[in-house]
Amino acid sequence: MADNLMADKSVAAIPSQRPSVPASLFVVCFALACINAAFFPAGLLSGIWIWGADGLGIPTDFVNVWAAGKLVLQGHPALAWDWDVQRQLELDLLKQDFPGYFAWHYPPPFLFVAAFLAQFPYITGFAGWVYASFIPFALAMRAIVGRGFGLLLAAGFPALFSNALVGQNGCLTAALVGGTLYWLPVRPVLAGICLGLLTYKPQYGLLFPVVLIATQRWTAVVSATVTALVLAVASLVAFGLDSWQAFFHWLPMFSQAFLTEGKATWWKLQSLFSLVRYFGGSEALGWTFQWVLTAAVAVVLVTLWRSRVRYSLKAAALAIGLLLTTPYLFMYDMMVQAIAVAWLVRIGLHDGFRRYELPAFGCIAALQITFMLTGIPLGLAANLLVGGLVLARAGSWWRRQPVSSQTALAAA
């Protein structure tokens, strides 16, 4: 059975006698998948997830989605960005106080999702969002890995627990990144649509254009641009100009609160910027380190994508590069790391795993789990480890001659 990226000559087929999944990798993924599958239904029934046994709602991130959607349904979409209005609605819903804010800061197009979810009771919307958003993520992982094991890898990825626990959108983000990278070589229009939908997370909008323009993938660029414009116009019609004005008005305040004052606490963020702040560095020092890393990653990615390195490594490098270059990175955003890992697993199942790769995967999982148990910000270390695996596989990519846009992609 062939393990093709798509039915396209640009991606080499894998022989029918495919190597099996290493037992250690399967067992670890299976165990983590069982934990994820069992905890949330049990948590819902026992009152430790979404709604407490005391009859009070548990304060988590999803409450801002539901509250924003409720304001849309009430005819006041622009108020979704008002921190005080949002907080009062959240207090009325949860029936208990909580420190700080669960503020809404997404661009207006994401109000379509929020408004849809707010039509349901809070528990239904929360749980439904968690499980429904997992489906495209799992399908993207299955497609990238190229066999059914991709579903197990998706279900057992450690960051999935953090994402589901608070009802965040990490699965959707990872699915769109995965869809963009999966379809880019063979279905650039579909890839561009995924990328255009990803504009609900603007912090991921830096590296994709750089790479696409550097490699002259104009069809994907046009498709992404058109999709983003359609979303913007649709949200303008649906929610009014006031919603966009509110978004831009509150955005600097959000940046001030989270990236200057550290309102979310630095240990929750997993970027280099936040790590510098976590250890007491100044904001200027944090930005200096972050911009140096961002520039270095951009240079590496452009060079790598213009080389003859196999496409799987290019895709993995871009996926992990997205995480390394944004200062605003929570553990639920680490779901995108699963996309990079899936491309590496694809290569390992095709060519065989190098002796250090499976232990490295174990370390990556352990770093995420350690954060969940201790609160020590280890996400950057995990991302750097994934990046190291990609570069180790790529070899002397910087010495290779550029490949023209007409040259077929190397084997995935």
Q: What is the pLDDT of residues 49-61, one digit of tens each?
A: 999 999 999 999 9
Cα 277 from Cα 259, distance rounded (Å): 9
> Torsion angle of alpha carbons 89, 93, 94, 96, nearest 10°?
60
From 312, 309, 304, select the one nearest 14 (Cα to Cα).
312
Cα 188 from Cα 300, distance rounded (Å): 23
CA geometry: angle at 246 spanning 117 and 114, to 5°? Answer: 5
Give the predicted TM-score (pTM) of the model.
0.91
Cα 47 from Cα 54, distance rounded (Å): 8
Span 139-195, pLDDT tens digits: 999 999 999 999 999 999 999 999 999 999 999 999 999 999 999 999 999 999 999
Average pLDDT of the residues in 229-235? 98
Average pLDDT of the residues in 135-140? 98
Q: Which tokens belong to 297?
A: 């990653």
Span 30-87, pLDDT tens digits: 999 999 999 999 999 999 999 999 999 999 999 999 999 999 999 999 999 999 999 9
Contact, 188 vs 217, CB < 8 A? yes
Contact, 347 vs 183, CB < 8 A? no
Span 252-309, pLDDT tens digits: 988 888 888 888 889 999 999 999 999 999 999 999 999 999 999 999 999 999 999 9
Domain boundaries, the chain: 23-399
